[in-house]
C-alpha cells in the first residue's frame, strides 16, 4: 500500500537519525548497480541524513554478465558518512564452498548462473566442466582475485535496524533470531513467504523474485529480478517512512512514500 508515512508509535521505525538504503539482488548487473548507486548518492546529497547505511541483501553474483565488476565496485565503494553493509546470499555461499573444495557443487553452480560469473573473471566454463574435481576447483580459484574472496567471506547473515531485520532469504517462523540457521537465512522460501506471524520485527529480504515490491505486514521482499528484468530496487527506511526507487525510467519510478 502506497501513501503518506504514518505518525504512529506502533508503526515500524528505523533508529532515530539514521537512514537505510536496502538494495535487492544484483546478480552481476553492474550497469544497474551503477544506476542505483547514483540515485542513492543523489538522495543522500539532497536529504543529508545524519547517518546512512547502504545494505546489500546478497546474491551480488551469478546470472548477469559482470559479477567480477559488481564485486570490484562494491569492494572499493567508499562515500563519506555512508556505511555499507553486505549480507551473504545463497549464490555467494555456493561459490565460497566451491573455493573451499566442494567440487560436487560445480555442475549445479555453472547451470544456475555460475557460468556467467566465471566468464566475467576470464574463466572458461566449458573447459572447467570437463576437468576432474581438484583441477576444476583450482581453475576457479586461479581466476578469482584473493581480495574478492576475502571480501565475500566478510559478509554478515543479518542486520538489525530498529524495527527491521535485513536478511537475504528470510527466517524460519517460530524460531528465535539467535537460533536461526544459515541454511534458512540464505535459502528459505516456504514456510516463510506464506507465514503471517508477527516476528517482532519486519523482515526485509531478497532471494524470491517478484515483479514489484512484495509487501506484507511482517515482511517486504525487494528482489525484482534485476538480471532478467532490468529492474534493480532499493527500499529506503527513514524513521517511520518507507520509500523506494528502482532502475526503470525516472517517470515510472518517482520516489514514493510507502505507508
Which domains are seen in the chain, by residue range? 18-88+147-258 (3.60.21.10)
Q: Which three cell numbers stand for residue 205?
A: 529480504
Alpha carbons 205 and 171: distance in angstroms, whole number: 9
Would you list the DSSP string of 183-224? HHHHH--TTTTT-----SSEEEE-SS--SS-EE-SSEEE---
pTM of the model: 0.93
Length of the chain: 259
Whole-number Cα distances in Å, 258 to 9, 60, 154, 243: 16, 26, 32, 5
- Residue 8 is predicted with a pLDDT of 47
Is 60 exceeded by the pLDDT of residue 2? no
E strand segments, 196-240:
202-205, 214-215, 219-221, 233-238
Q: What are the tens digits of pLDDT across the range 111-131? A: 999 999 999 999 999 999 999
Is 50 exceeded by the pLDDT of residue 255? no
Q: Which helix (H) or strand (E) holds 82?
A: strand 82-86
Is 70 exceeded by the pLDDT of residue 3? no
Alpha carbons 202 and 13: distance in angstroms, whole number: 10
Q: What are the tens digits of pLDDT across the range 174-229? A: 999 999 999 999 999 999 999 999 999 999 999 999 999 999 999 999 999 999 99
Amino acid at each position: 500500500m502506497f501513501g503518506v508515512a504514518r505518525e504512529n508509535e506502533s508503526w515500524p521505525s528505523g533508529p532515530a537519525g539514521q537512514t537505510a538504503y536496502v538494495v535487492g539482488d544484483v546478480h552481476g548487473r553492474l550497469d544497474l548497480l551503477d544506476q542505483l548507486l547514483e540515485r542513492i548518492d543523489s538522495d543522500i546529497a539532497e536529504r543529508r541524513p545524519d547517518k546512512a547505511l547502504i545494505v546489500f541483501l546478497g546474491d551480488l553474483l551469478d546470472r548477469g554478465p559482470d559479477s567480477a565488476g559488481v564485486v570490484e565496485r562494491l569492494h572499493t565503494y567508499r562515500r563519506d558518512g555512508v556505511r555499507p553493509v553486505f549480507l551473504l546470499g545463497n549464490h555467494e555461499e555456493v561459490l565460497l564452498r566451491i573455493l573451499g573444495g566442494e567440487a560436487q557443487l560445480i555442475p549445479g553452480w555453472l547451470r544456475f548462473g555460475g557460468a556467467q560469473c566465471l566468464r566475467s573473471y576470464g574463466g572458461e566454463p566449458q573447459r572447467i566442466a570437463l576437468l576432474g574435481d581438484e583441477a576444476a576447483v583450482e581453475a576457479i580459484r586461479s581466476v578469482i582475485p584473493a581480495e574478492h574472496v576475502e571480501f565475500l567471506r566478510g559478509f554478515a547473515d543479518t542486520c538489525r535496524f530498529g524495527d527491521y531485520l535485513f536478511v537475504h532469504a528470510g527466517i524460519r517462523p517460530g524460531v528465535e533470531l539467535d537460533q536461526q540457521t544459515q541454511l534458512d537465512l540464505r535459502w528459505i522460501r516456504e514456510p516463510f513467504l506464506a507465514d503471517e506471524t508477527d516476528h517482532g520485527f519486519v523482515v526485509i529480504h531478497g532471494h524470491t523474485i517478484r515483479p514489484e515490491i512484495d509487501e506484507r505486514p511482517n515482511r517486504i521482499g525487494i528482489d525484482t529480478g534485476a538480471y532478467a528484468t532490468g529492474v534493480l530496487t532499493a527500499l529506503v527506511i527513514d524513521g517511520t517512512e518507507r520509500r523506494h526507487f528502482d532502475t526503470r525510467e525516472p517517470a515510472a519510478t518517482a520516489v514514493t512514500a510507502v505507508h
